[in-house]
Amino acid sequence: MAEYDGTIDPQEHLSRFENTALLHRYTDGIKCRVFVTTFARTAQQWFNQLPPAVIGSFREFCSLFLHQFASSRKHRKTELSLFSIRQKEGESLKHYLLRFNTATLEVPSATQEVKAIAFTQGLMERFLQVAN
């Protein structure tokens, strides 16, 4: 499992760890002991400065962890973010479509209509003329 250094979304790291813990059937106590082994740099420094016996359960550990690294949380993208995607000069239609579709995966609430409008608005002018 990848180490957590405080620079990526803490919820994503925690979710990956919980999946691993479920697979290995870790108890609450084991989760606390193993979770800390996934820390590096800033996260390890944070853990090392915690007062003794401050963690009473894995749930408390998660709460402290998520609170400490809240500023690293990945912000959920909205439908509006799709309208900022533009086809780049020299970018093939295929590559633009791939990049656009990848971005739509981060916005599961976007309707097909919104996706179509955003995609079309992001096309370079010469591709719009071909479509007409």
pTM of the model: 0.58
Average pLDDT over residues 27-31: 92
Residue 89 has pLDDT above 60, yes or no: yes
- Answer yes or no: are the C-beta atoms of 94 and 29 closer than 8 Å: no
Separation of CA 84 from chain center: 19
Q: Is the pLDDT of residue 132 over 70?
A: no
pLDDT band at 110 (very low <50, low <70, confident <90, very high): confident
Tell whether the model's pLDDT for residue 116 goes beyond 70: yes
What tokens appear for 31 in the block? 């989760």
pLDDT at 128: 61
Q: Mapping DSSP to helix (H, G, I), strand (E, B) and coil, where does residue 56 land? A: coil
**Residue that is written with structure tokens 């740099």 in the block:** 41
The C-alpha angle 123, 87, 114, rounded to 5 degrees, equals 55
Mean pLDDT across 72-82: 79
Query: How is residue 24 written in tokens?
Result: 């290995």
- Band (24; pLDDT cuts 50, 70, 90): very high
Among the ranges given (3-12, 55-64, 74-83), the one the predictor scored with the smallest mean pLDDT: 74-83
Percent of the chain topping pLDDT 70 = 94
16's tokens = 């990956």
Buried b (16+ CB within 10 A) or exposed e, 69-87: beebeeeebeeebbeebeb
Q: How confident is the model at residue 57 (pLDDT cuts 50, 70, 90)?
A: very high
Residue 46, pLDDT score: 93
- The span from the CA of 93 to the CA of 99, in Å, is 10
